[in-house]
Chain A
């Protein structure tokens, strides 16, 4: 059974940093692009970043570029999101998701981890 479990969320002050983790199981992690999606309170879903198999290609939404870094460790079946210079508007539930190879899109999602940026 495919499982994605996010961790690392919490309360952080503006300007602070946080590192999210996504632990994967039930599939060959190294064969898939992986993605982070977030949902701010009362807002819609927003794609944040993704990373290719092997980690040599990464893409970011404009608001995250230069502040966030996506990475992966295939030996640990894990993906990470290092978030620096956090802003109040980064407050959201952050989901990790697997990008399907043949069908495309995000076929499996985690339950999300809440990041709250507040003083």
Chain B
């Protein structure tokens, strides 16, 4: 069981807006930045969001992040077929003295 809790799956049709949640505690999300990664099987994970809501250069503005208290969320608007992938939230955890990942959310574009 992962320290950060994500829904195992999410889905949407092309053009829709989808939100993926990530729930933690004061030892991780509550006191640290949240990062989001996109992972396609067989490839290297890709950083989508850093410091809760910042996008690296090259990441479309269709991807946005937010954080409130001990929870965070990733929103994807204008859903496209190429967005079909696994998405992970990550944060540093003070109690564990390490990084913790969410269990991952498999996004399906219907």
Contact = CB atoms under 8 A, between A and B. Distances in A.
Given A104-B51, A105-B47, A44 B101 contact: yes
A95 B104 contact: no
Contact of B104 (A44, A47, A104): A44
Interface string B81-108: 0000010101000001111111110000
12 contacts: A44-B2, A44-B101, A44-B103, A45-B37, A45-B88, A45-B101, A46-B101, A47-B100, A60-B98, A61-B96, A97-B45, A109-B44
A100 B88 CA distance: 17
Nearest to B49: A105
B93 to A, nearest CB: 10
Contacts of B98: 47, 50, 59-61
Interface residues of B, number: 26
A61 B95 CA distance: 11
A16 to B, nearest CB: 25
Given A59-B98, A109-B44, A44 B86 contact: yes
B44 A107 contact: no
B60 interface: no
A6 B35 CA distance: 23
B16 to A, nearest CB: 24
Q: How large is the interface on A (under 10, 10 to 19, 20 to 34, 35 or more residues)?
A: 20 to 34
Contacts of A44: 2, 86, 88, 101-104
B39 to A, nearest CB: 7
Nearest to A99: B99
Nearest to B90: A105
Interface string B41-76: 001111100110010100000000000000000000
A113 to B, nearest CB: 12
Contacts of A95: 44-45
A59 B100 CA distance: 12
Contact of A103 (B56, B86, B97): B56
Interface string A49-74: 01000000001111000000000000
